[in-house]
């Protein structure tokens, strides 16, 4: 079981939360998302993006850097309506050089933030999370 430690906010929006596993104290960050927020990388549908290996979860760069600074090793995405989760190691988002698995999108021109997108195949899918 996990215990809610802290809600992470960006401006006025609740963005996700840090949870602590009761058995060993391991901390994990879960961004709260909806199914339609799966990043499609320009494809018309999530299915098309998945077939092309481009569907993924986008996390803003600032959040990733803050998580690394606080010593969190695992992060993921929690779909709030279905309690499904995709979990990965934070270091997977931080890899540099030719072996990196993520790609970068800068949405600052449209009022957004720089984001790193990690394809779904690099996440562990958990069908029902008990928090």
Each residue's pLDDT tens digit, 105-120: 666 666 677 888 888 9
Helix (H) or strand (E) holding 13: strand 13-21
Task: With respect to residue 80, please indicate whether it lies within any of the assigned structural domains.
Answer: yes
Classify residue 54: in a domain, yes or no.
Answer: yes
Q: Is residue 37 part of a domain?
A: yes
* Cα 92 from chain centroid (whole Å): 11
Residue 47 lies in a domain: yes
Residue span of the structural domain in which 39 resides: 2-126
Element at 7 (helix H, strand E): strand 2-10
Give the Cα separation of 17 and 75 in Å (integer).
10
Q: What is the value of pTM for the model shown?
A: 0.85
pLDDT tens digits, residue range 23-50? 999 999 999 999 888 988 888 998 998 8
Least-confidence region, from 49-53, 90-94, 105-109: 105-109
When pLDDT is averaged across residues 83-112 and rounded to a whole number, the result is 78
What is the average per-residue pLDDT within 8-32?
91
Domain count, the chain: 1
Confidence of residue 99 (pLDDT cuts 50, 70, 90): low
Q: Confirm whether 131 is domain-assigned.
A: no
Q: Is residue 69 part of a domain?
A: yes
Helix, strand or coil for residue 127? coil
Q: Would you say residue 117 lies in a domain?
A: yes
Distance CA 28, CA 18 (A): 6
């Amino acid at each position: 079981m996990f215990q809610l430690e802290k809600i992470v906010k960006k401006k006025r929006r609740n963005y996700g939360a840090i949870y602590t596993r009761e058995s060993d104290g391991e901390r994990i960050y879960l961004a709260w998302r909806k199914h339609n927020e799966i990043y499609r990388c320009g494809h018309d549908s999530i299915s098309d993006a998945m077939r092309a290996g481009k569907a993924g979860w986008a996390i803003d760069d600032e959040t990733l850097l803050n998580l690394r600074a606080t010593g969190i090793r695992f992060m993921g995405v929690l779909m709030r309506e279905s309690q499904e989760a995709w979990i990965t190691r934070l270091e997977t988002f931080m890899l540099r050089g030719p072996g990196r698995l993520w790609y970068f999108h800068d949405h600052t021109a449209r009022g957004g933030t720089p984001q790193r997108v990690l394809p779904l195949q690099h996440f562990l899918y958990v069908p029902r999370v008990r928090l």
